Amino acid sequence: MASALRLMPSTATRLRFRPRLSFSTAASLFSPPSKAVLYDQHGPPDQVLRVEDVPPVELGERGVCVKMLAAPINPSDINRVQGVYPVRPPLPAAVAGYEGVAQVHAVGPAVTRPLSPGDWVIPSPPSFGTWQTYIVKPEDVWHKVRDDVPVEYAATVTVNPLTALRMLQDFVKLKPGDAVVQNGSTSIVGQCVIQLAKVQGIRTINIIRDRPGSEEAKEKLKQLGADEVFTKSQLDVKNVKSLLGALPEPALGFNCVGGNAASLILKLLRQGGTMVTYGGMSKKPVTVSTSSFIFKDLSLRGFWLQKWMNSDKSEECRTMIDYLLGLVHEGKLKYE
């Protein structure tokens, strides 16, 4: 478990679970015994996480028991375990994990939602505690999703693809032919931005790190639909906009890195453009010149999906999840 966790800042790993049978008494229905990834205090994941047996849980009248099929390990999951994320589950005995896909195992006798054993569901909005084999939560937590897509896409649709979709829709009114620029383009959010923009007829300018394999990374992003992909060193020129060719100056930029990578986005933005920061993987601050504010009239915004989902957006969230999984089914959205 610890080695998998150390891999997560660069790629999403799935936790897969083996099912066991449930049991009931004459009066009550219970979940099967379960295994969970728990922690009692914050700290390095390889030091504080443990796998432990969890006793059966009674469903109650409106409870739904699900069998987890897969759950990702996102950087934010690691941050919660470390204690540095703004929203965290209560301690002790916190169960790790925040999103994932499950199969309905049993439903309480008074459940009114159209949920049946075998249905695929996700917690929507996401919910703490997905790193366990069986979960019992109220029926309104679960959103039924299509089961004709790969399990890894259903497990990961909420956090990263939804972030990409919201950022494309919430800050600048874009029209076909407009352009956006982003750093962190090889991340899952970055890959989703490229493909969701393409569906809308929006062009993308993408910035990646200078590293071995950068040419292969460029080719991969172009296969997804990227219009231009530059390494940071390629943009280290006086007239950076000359590199855009026939592409329009971008109206909107997405920053998940900070530091110099954010400054490159600001250089490329058009007059009156907006940069949205949704991460800070370099742990370096965003530095903005005075001239960027005065002469270019740039706007700086922030986006945190958790805050958006907490603003009574549950139905809108579920509609967008269905839309995203529809694109996956059509072959228009893929990521790794």
CA distances from 138 to 68, 92, 322 (A): 15, 22, 21
CA nearest 18: which of 30, 32, 6?
32
Cα–Cα distance between 79 and 74 in angstroms, integer? 9
Cα–Cα distance between 43 and 60 in angstroms, integer? 35
Query: Among residues 85, 98, 153, 278, which one is catalytic?
Result: 85
State the CB neighbour count (10 A cutoff) for residue 219: 11
Query: Per the structure block, which two tokens stand in for 307?
Result: 């805050």
Contact assessment for residue 329 and residue 150, using Cβ atoms and an 8 Å cutoff = no
Name the maximum alpha-carbon separation found in the chain: 77
The pairing of beta strand 34-39 with beta strand 50-54: antiparallel
239: helix, strand or coil: coil
- Tell me the DSSP string of 181-229: EESSTTSHHHHHHHHHHHHTT-EEEEEE---TTHHHHHHHHHHHT-SEE
Cα–Cα distance between 242 and 254 in angstroms, integer? 20
Cα–Cα distance between 285 and 61 in angstroms, integer? 50
Q: Look-up: residue for tokens 């925040």?
A: 98
Q: What are phi and psi for residue 133, nearest 5 degrees?
A: -75, -40
Is residue 278 flagged as an active site residue? no
9-33 per-residue burial string, b: 16 or more CB within 10 A, e: under 16 = eeebebbebeeeebeeeeeebbbbb
Query: Per the structure block, which two tokens stand in for 238?
Result: 């006086």
Q: Catalytic residues, which ones?
A: 85
